[in-house]
Amino acid sequence: MLEKDIVAAIMRLLKRIPRCFAWKEHGGMYGSAGIPDVICCLDGRFFAFEVKTPEGRVTKLQKQTIHRIKVAGGHAYVVRSVEDVKAILWAYAGIEV
């Protein structure tokens, strides 16, 4: 499965959840390097998901960005499947999807 397919599955999941505002962060020359792929606000909680394939590696900048989000009080994770996101939302927001 490609990373873009995992991102699409995560976005479909998040769009089904009430009180969830989510978007896919697009890289490129107009985006900020290191920002996680999927950002969402769920019931006032900030979540960021850096999506990788099972073989994918997280860059140093991505690790630093995840750390900065956590220090600021947000929730940021590297995920490799939509199931990872479901588990995180259950653990931290009590959301069963």
User: Cα(78)–Cα(85) distance, rounded to whole angstroms?
Assistant: 9
| Mean pLDDT value across the chain | 93
In the prediction, which pLDDT does 29 show? 67
Q: In the prediction, which pLDDT does 37 show?
A: 96
CB within 8 A of 23, min separation 6: which ones? 38, 39, 40
Q: What pLDDT, on the 0 to 100 scale, is given for residue 66?
A: 98
pLDDT in tens, 30-77: 677 899 999 999 999 999 999 999 999 999 999 999 999 999 999 999
| 3-93: CATH architecture | 3-Layer(aba) Sandwich (3.40)
Residues whose CB falls within 8 Å of the CB of residue 29, separated by 6 or more in sequence, listed in order: none
**Residue 1 clears pLDDT 90, i.e. is over it:** no
96 vs 44, higher pLDDT: 44
Of all residues in the chain, the percent with pLDDT exceeding 70 is 97
Triad 52, 21, 11: Cα angle to 5°? 35
Give the whole-angstrom CA distance, residue 83 versus residue 87. 6
